[in-house]
Chain A
Amino acid sequence: MSWSDVIGADALIPLLVATLRLAIPTMLAAVGECFCERSGVLNLGLEGMMLTGALAAFVGGHHTGSAAVGAVSGTLAGGLLAVVLGCFVVRGKVDQVVAGIAVVLLAQGVTALAYLRLFSSATTPPSVDGSPPIAIPLLEEIPVLGPVLFRQTALVYASMAMVAVLAWALFRTRFGLSLRAAGESPAAADAAGIRVERVRWIALTVSGAMAGLGGAVLIDQLELFRENVTAGRGWVAIAIVILVRWNPVGAILGALLFGFTDALQFRIQSAAGGVETAVPFELFQALPYLVTLLVVVASALHFKTRAQPRALGVPYDR
């Protein structure tokens, strides 16, 4: 295996295409989580919402053959699980860390149960057909960025649009301002007439829906479902939010970093062609998580000021 096979001129474009493709699920979850945490709610159930969305998308896509149906199912399922979490943390004022983790366990159990019950009679492993890439004419001709950005599937385009809308909404709309106020100083926001609880409900549900959509996109790419198919992407998304200091644009970049290490590790493994390399393949599998961990630490060491929304994780009692 030579390194030019991995990042040489010919290999670079496919690598970047793969980077964006692999980054999208995590990106959706991370930007959604930014949105949510900025309102003061810590959504630790993200991994569970992604997983639930993935299952719903798989079931929907399997029965109808349509990736769009899958995507909508996934989004709704993720949002629904967020509502469940909201009952406990927004309404019930329960500790957000514990409830979030419990929701992840709940989702893992329910999805495993549902998958086994729904597909136990299948003789061959069930699958869905992934959507085909759609090239956008003219734009795809742009050197380097063209193929990377404009030869993706419809789901990826929709996801990129969602992410942009959310990022814009957070900083350029009245609602976004109310949301950020609820996260920094809920008492002052309340005094100014902002309905803190309602804002937080919306933010939490949106983050769940985004995570669910992320799960749907993942299924579209993998074309199958298995237990814990999300493999920690939800947790990585939460880490990204912290390391980019709750900035949605930063979250996009952070997700791309994760996508890059993911794409790189696949590339390295396939370029090595199954031959035993000096470096074990488990290291490459661990690479995305390791890199995320290191970047989280480096970011905390580098930035001296606190960027965390002041009311994050604290339930608001009027």
Chain B
Amino acid sequence: MTASSLVEPPTVADDLAPALESARGERWRPLLGTIVAVAVALALGAGLLLISGADPVSSYAALLDGAVGSRRAIELLLVQSVPLLIMGLGLCAAYRARVWNIGTEGQFQVGALGAGAFLLLTPLGSSPIAIPAAMLVGAAAGGILAWSIGALRARWEINEVVTSLLSNYVVLFGVAYVVRKPLRDQTSGASLQSERIPDVAALPTLPGSRVHIGLVLALVLVPLLLWALTRTPFGMRVRMVGMNADAAEAAGVATRSVIARTMLISGLLAGLAGAIQVMGVELRLTTSMSTGIGFTAIVVALLGRLHPLGVVFSALLIAGLSVGGNVMQLRVGVPNAVVLVIEALIVLFVVLANRRGLLAGGSR
């Protein structure tokens, strides 16, 4: 808060000017800052490995090999990146408006639950019907949940960080119940899981690989979101609300509507990601479907600096860390938790490097 801001309220022009300037000339500095931040985080991670008695060099070598060292590894990486990319895109929309949706974990699970339950309970004969239908159901489930949270914020200013977080826990227990009782696979013995979804609903893979077509869908969403967030009046309004909600309101923007809609978008995409995960990877409902992927998506969105193209890269990077981390754990014995630490450090240093603004382009 500078002295001048005490004297008169900031106008919309004051807030937009730096964004417009830096979009032209300064695009490389924020990118450099992000790269340095990732490097620092990896270095600190290496230090942590040393302290915990592991050899950083062989650990990171195993990590790298596990991520991209073989065709199978790359396929796994791509499959893992799909939900991260989809959720990350949705969070771009919300976070650009500074609507802090921390509930993607719950929205993902409820989308998976919705799609899975739909497929198990509704007899649908053919793939071209079952797959899109289930995706719609999953997306809708996530969307409704997120929209409710957004409406509470928009209408009554109820803090969405808190409501979205608490809703994660409620959904978690809801899914646990459904898997344990109504949709339980009775033949599976001790493990808690539902029956397998009908084969017509399993996502086909890309010819010649084991990567499912969810990847194609995710990639299609990238230019769509890019266009929506940077080339439409809606995208402009989102950005204005994110920079200064009061100024935006004064300038005539329907901030409440923007808040609710961005939450809806992030929820729809999180639910869709859940549905795709069930149909492409898990093929049944379990209690271990998400394992924190909703929180990882937050890292992906922030690392990608809320830009759809940035999110493509960060989703691949984070997916690589994830997949590589599993191999590292198996081969070198270093717990997977190190990857979580590195991700958290990446976020901290990226926001530190970009503290003049979270958005790609340097605006606050």
Contact = CB atoms under 8 A, between A and B. Distances in A.
Interface of A: 44, 88, 92-95, 97-99, 101-103, 105-106, 108-110, 112-114, 116-117, 186-187, 232, 235-236, 238-239, 242, 280, 282-283, 285-286, 289-290, 292-293, 296-297, 300-301, 306, 314, 316-317
23 contacts: A98-B358, A99-B348, A101-B298, A102-B351, A105-B347, A106-B340, A106-B345, A108-B340, A109-B337, A110-B48, A113-B335, A113-B337, A117-B52, A232-B165, A235-B162, A235-B166, A285-B173, A286-B172, A286-B173, A289-B170, A293-B166, A296-B162, A300-B158
Contacts of A314: 1
A112 B337 contact: yes
Q: Is the interface of B mostly helix, strand, loop or mixed?
A: helix
A280 B178 CA distance: 10
B335 A116 contact: yes
B101 to A, nearest CB: 11
B302 interface: yes
A164 B82 CA distance: 50
A292 B159 CA distance: 13
A300 B340 contact: no
Nearest to A306: B157
B340 A109 contact: yes
A283 B2 CA distance: 50
Given A102-B344, A117-B335, A239-B165, 6 more contacts: A99-B351, A101-B295, A103-B344, A106-B345, A109-B339, A117-B52
Best-buried of B48, B162, B340, B342 by chain A (most CB within 10 Å): B162
Contact of A101 (B102, B162, B180, B340): B102
Nearest to A84: B348
A317 B2 contact: yes
B166 to A, nearest CB: 4
B121 interface: no
A106 B169 contact: no
A300 B163 CA distance: 12
A105 B199 CA distance: 37
B337 A88 contact: no
B161 A97 contact: yes
A52 B13 CA distance: 44
B162 A113 contact: no
B220 interface: no
Q: Is the interface of A mostly helix, strand, loop or mixed?
A: helix
Given A99-B351, A116-B337, A297 B169 contact: no
Contact of A235 (B53, B165, B181, B340): B165
Contact of A97 (B48, B100, B173): B100
Contacts of B298: 101
A235 B167 CA distance: 11
B190 interface: no
Contacts of A242: 159, 162
Given A98-B358, A280-B181, A293-B170, A300 B157 contact: yes
Interface string B149-175: 000100011110111011101101110
A187 B1 contact: yes
Contacts of A99: 348, 351
A86 B226 CA distance: 34
Nearest to B52: A117
B340 A232 contact: no
B343 interface: yes
A282 B299 CA distance: 29
Contacts of A117: 52-53, 335
B345 A282 contact: no
A300 B152 CA distance: 9
B247 interface: no
Contacts of B177: 280, 282-283
A286 B174 CA distance: 8
B163 A297 contact: yes
B254 to A, nearest CB: 21
A106 B347 CA distance: 10
A258 to B, nearest CB: 11
10 residue pairs, one from A and one from B, having the closest CB atoms: A109-B340, A109-B341, A106-B344, A112-B337, A286-B173, A105-B344, A282-B177, A102-B347, A113-B337, A289-B169
Contacts of B172: 286
Contacts of A283: 173, 177
A26 to B, nearest CB: 13
A297 B158 contact: yes
Nearest to A117: B52
B170 A286 contact: yes
B315 to A, nearest CB: 17
A105 B1 contact: no
Nearest to B45: A109
Contacts of B176: 282
